[in-house]
Amino acid sequence: MTASTSTLYHPKIAHFMETYGIVLIVLVMMAILAVIKPDVFLSAENLTNILKQNASLALLALGMLVVIVTGGIDLSVGSTMALAMVCIAMASRVGVPWPICLLIGPVVGLAVGWANGIGLTWLKLPHPFIMTLGTLNIGRGLTYLLTGGAPVSGLQPELRYLGVSYWGLGIFNPPAGLPVSLVVVAISAVLLWLFLNRTSTGRHIYAIGGNPHAARVSGVNVDRVLTAVYMICGFFAGLAGLLLVGRTGSGFPNAGIGIELDAIAAVIIGGASFFGGRGTVLGVLAGVLIMGLLRNGLNINNVSAFWQMILIGFVIIIAVYIDVVRRKAAIRT
Amino acid sequence: MDPIEAKPLPLLEAKNIVKYFGAITALGGVNFHVDAGEVLGVVGDNGAGKSTLMKILSGLYTPSEGELVFQGRPVHFSSPKEARLLGIEMVYQDFALAGNMPIYENIYLGREPGRKFGPLRIVDHERSRAMAREHLDRLKISVKSIDQQTENLSGGQRQAVAIARATAFDAKLVIMDEPTAALAIKEVGKVLDLIRSLKEHGVAVIVISHRMDDIFYCCDRVMALFQGTNFADAKLADTNRNEVIGWIMGTKNHTEGLAHDRVH
């Protein structure tokens, strides 16, 4: 048994770059924006805003990461988020106590995720794209049916706390501060990191993404793990709905149309492999921040929203191309 | 079992194993046994039923009829997990490794050392690494780092990791499906030596191979399957290559002329 010695291959260094290289990109982007518009970009209000606006997307992307690591995809997260939002808002309006309303979001998400898992493992639909495309439509349809297409307002103030509040901590003046939604994202990210890296189920998720056959013959109950994976993704979609309903103050049925594609983009920009087996929590957070910073930077420089879409499109392509080149260079040095 | 009986109990005995896939009969009644610490070579033409039989032994398939007896007790496996609990392990032709994961995690995949914590098991990565190092040392397998992802390994190294996984927990029987088919020629010898060293550790091995060189290098006994039944078997010392090649083609009284390696 020898440790890595004189050769070019250093697993530790390769691992470090794979894990933290993306953070460098975020820092470079921030530095560029700070140089171009120091007074606007670096203001506490602007930074608070970036974090608050992207909290829901960050949660969706964390859930999406778990699915993409298995080599799957979940198109239903936007609908699930909207369904959770209107369920929370309607329950609140008919006077359900707020601690129960808080649970509604995650429970709706878990239920949709369970349905996705069942479609994949019991019905054996050929690809998660199919099942989640179905639940995307079913969820959105339910959302419209429940609300008649109109936003549901009248949220109890306690329900808005997670989405809208921030802590001044004696340092910041309103409307700046540490958003509570950021704390929710941070706790979620840490717990998810621990789950993926320190529990056997988390490691099985990566193994399934790398080689499902290997996982199966190693005694991993692949169907059970996959169902759990889609439930985790749904849970995060429900939690994202809880934050967004708090931030906007109403359950609007059009919320999150197309946001599943943003979540997928953030995961891919963050270095996860679309074919499964590779992807990190840190990368996803960086992916969300790269998209958020790009939008914010273009906004504060008065660039049209149409250009933002074009640029994000290029970023996705470039990010994956860099990954292709890097992996080609890394193979068997 | 009668203790007076002179012959020791076989480790694993298959009695009249039949397997249907719809209207197709893959196995039409196979009887064989393997003893503890014995290396049994299994040969047969494509479609003779080798892989089906091995998948039944390792718990991936359940037999349509027949019985498996392990250490004197009848056993039924509904998954590879159950077979592994008894110490029956399979090394797959494609190695069945997760290429995105490091060597040590592949070795303990599905059996990670750690502590139960509610419904979750917290993996002790340090202990897993230490166990992997120790185990690879015992098998005299050297790798650059146990943190290397298996997709960066050569075929022979992957095969070694697959064998290490199969023997990580007190295996009694290791089944190997074409262990040398995917290897470079210079790596074949190492893997065959590894099979011999398993025997020295008291592990029984079943080797499926097309290569007579492999069979005659590392086996104690050879069995031929032909059209879904056990056609013939013999101790290695009592047979020769041409006879075994004849069995593969379904002929018992072989002639020199049937030898495939002869130039006519």
Q: B17: which strand partners?
A: B30
CB spacing of A218 vs B142 below 8 angstroms = no
Can you tell me which residue has the tokens 């859930």?
Answer: A63
> Which residue from A4, A217, A277 is facing B100, i.e. has the nearest CB?
A277
What's the pLDDT tens digit per position in A238-267?
999 999 999 999 999 999 999 999 999 999
Can you tell me which residue has the tokens 């995961």?
Answer: A267
Is B147 within 8 Å of chain A by CB? yes
Report CA-CA distances (Å) from A122 to A63, A116, A224, A227, A275. 22, 10, 10, 10, 22
Is B129 within 8 Å of chain A by CB? no
CB spacing of B98 vs A11 below 8 angstroms = no
How high is the pLDDT of residue B128? 96
d(CA A119, CA A113): 10
Cβ neighbours of B54 in A, within 8 Å: none
A279: left (phi over 0), alpha (psi -120 to 50) or beta: left
Can you tell me which residue has the tokens 């109990």?
Answer: B9
> Which residue from B81, B96, B112 is facing A203, i.e. has the nearest CB?
B112
Question: What is the CB neighbour count within 10 angstroms for residue B63?
Answer: 22
Quick one: DSSP state of residue B10? P
What's the average model confidence in pLDDT over A177-182? 88
CB spacing of B109 vs A215 below 8 angstroms = yes
Q: What is the pLDDT along chain B (264 residues), one digit of tens a residue?
A: 444 555 678 899 999 999 999 888 889 989 999 999 899 999 988 888 888 999 999 888 999 999 999 998 999 998 888 899 999 999 998 899 999 999 999 999 999 999 998 889 999 999 999 999 999 998 888 889 999 999 989 888 999 999 999 999 889 999 999 888 878 888 888 888 888 888 888 899 999 988 888 899 989 999 999 988 888 888 888 888 888 888 888 887 765 555 555 554
Nearest CA in chain B to A194: B122
Q: Which one of B58, B88, B109 makes the best mutation probe of the A interface by having the most chain A beta carbons within 10 Å?
A: B109
Q: Which one of B60, B100, B157 makes the best mutation probe of the A interface by having the most chain A beta carbons within 10 Å?
A: B100
Percent above pLDDT 70 for chain A: 93
Helical packing angle, A55-69 and A222-248, nearest 10°: 170
Range scoring the smallest mean pLDDT among A16-30, A300-314, B194-208? A16-30
CB spacing of B101 vs A203 below 8 angstroms = yes
> Which residue from A4, A9, A219 is facing B81, i.e. has the nearest CB?
A219
Q: How far is B229 from chain A (nearest CA, A)?
A: 26
Asked whether B97 and A214 are in contact (CB, 8 A), the reply is yes
What's the pLDDT tens digit per position in A106-165?
999 999 999 999 999 999 999 999 999 999 999 999 999 999 999 999 888 888 888 888
How high is the pLDDT of residue B90? 92
Phi, psi of A96 (to 5 degrees): -65, 135
What is the full DSSP assignment across A215-262?
Answer: HHHTT--HHHHHHHHHHHHHHHHHHHHHHHHHHHSSB-TTTTTTHHHH
How high is the pLDDT of residue A115? 97
Question: What is the CB neighbour count within 10 angstroms for residue A23?
Answer: 14
Is B111 within 8 Å of chain A by CB? yes
The CA R_g of chain B, rounded to the nearest whole Å, is 19
How high is the pLDDT of residue B139? 86
Q: Is the whole model's pTM more than 0.80, yes or no?
A: yes
**A153 closest CA partner among A90, A213, A94:** A90
Is A195 within 8 Å of chain B by CB? yes
Asked whether B99 and B149 are in contact (CB, 8 A), the reply is yes
How high is the pLDDT of residue A5? 42
Is B152 within 8 Å of chain A by CB? yes
Q: How far is A87 from chain B (nearest CA, A)?
A: 29
> Which residue from B99, B123, B152 is facing A210, i.e. has the nearest CB?
B99
> Which residue from B92, B111, B121 is facing A219, i.e. has the nearest CB?
B111
How high is the pLDDT of residue A176? 73
What's the average model confidence in pLDDT over A61-77? 97
How high is the pLDDT of residue A6? 43
ipTM value: 0.85
Report CA-CA distances (Å) from A146 to A77, A87, A143, A156, A177. 18, 8, 5, 19, 36
Q: Mean pLDDT in chain A?
A: 89
Is A3 within 8 Å of chain B by CB? yes
Helix ranges (H only) for B79-184 are 80-85, 103-107, 125-138, 155-166
What's the average model confidence in pLDDT over A67-72? 97
Is B135 within 8 Å of chain A by CB? no
Asked whether A148 and A254 are in contact (CB, 8 A), the reply is no
Is B105 within 8 Å of chain A by CB? yes
d(CA B221, CA A80): 61
Count chain A–chain B contacts defined by CB atoms under 8 A.
105
Rounded (to 5) percent helix, strand, coil in chain B: 30, 30, 40
Q: A166: which strand partners?
A: A179
Q: How far is A132 from chain B (nearest CA, A)?
A: 26
Nearest CA in chain A to B166: A218
Cβ neighbours of B80 in A, within 8 Å: 216-219
Q: Tell the burial category of B42 from Cβ atoms under 10 Å away from its Cβ (0-12, 13-18, 19+).
A: buried
